[in-house]
Amino acid sequence: MSARRGTLIGIVMLAAWLGGCSIQPWVKPYERERLADEMMKFSRDTLAERHIEHTREVREGARGATGVQGGGCGCN
């Protein structure tokens, strides 16, 4: 069996598992009240997060995957 075909079958099985095997959304909309609270937000204040992210980006070698889009600069 080629690697490509094996991958394809794997993806089909995953999709079948996700879509066809009786997995239904288990947290109903009316059960999400707690998640709507302000303390349950990953991201709260755009400018404050941009400032923190900027101070880190110009001092650390790592970047990305934080959900905050920096503007880029030459400051280092």
Partner 1 sequence: MAAISTSNRLWSRLAALLGGVLAATGARALDLPKDRGEALVHSYSGGGVTANGPAVLVRKSVSDQVSLVASYYLDSVSNASIDVVTTASPYREQRSEYAVGVDYVYRDSQVSLAASTSREPDYIANRVGIDVIQEVFGGMTSVSLGFTRGADDVGKHNAPEFSETATHWLYRVGLTQILTPRWIASVNGEALADAGYLGSPYRVAQVFGAAVPERMPSTRSGRALNLRVLGDLGSRDSLRAEYRYYWDNWDIKAHTFEIGYRRHVGEDWLGEVGLRYYSQSAALFYSDNAQAETLYVTRNRQLSTFNNAGIGAKLAYTVSKVPGQYDFKINGAYEFVRFKYSDFTDIRTGNLYAYNANLLQLYASVTF
* Interface residues toward partner 1, by CB under 8 A: 5, 8-9, 11-12, 15-16, 18-20, 24-29, 31-35, 37-40, 42, 45-48, 50-52, 54-56, 58-67, 69, 71-76
Cβ closest to partner 1, residue 3 vs residue 76: 76
Least distance CB 3 / partner 1 (angstroms): 14
Residue of 65, 69, 41, 67 whose CA lies nearest to 54: 69
Could you give the CA distance from residue 68 to residue 57 in angstroms, rounded to a whole number? 11
**Amino acid in the structure at residue 60:** E
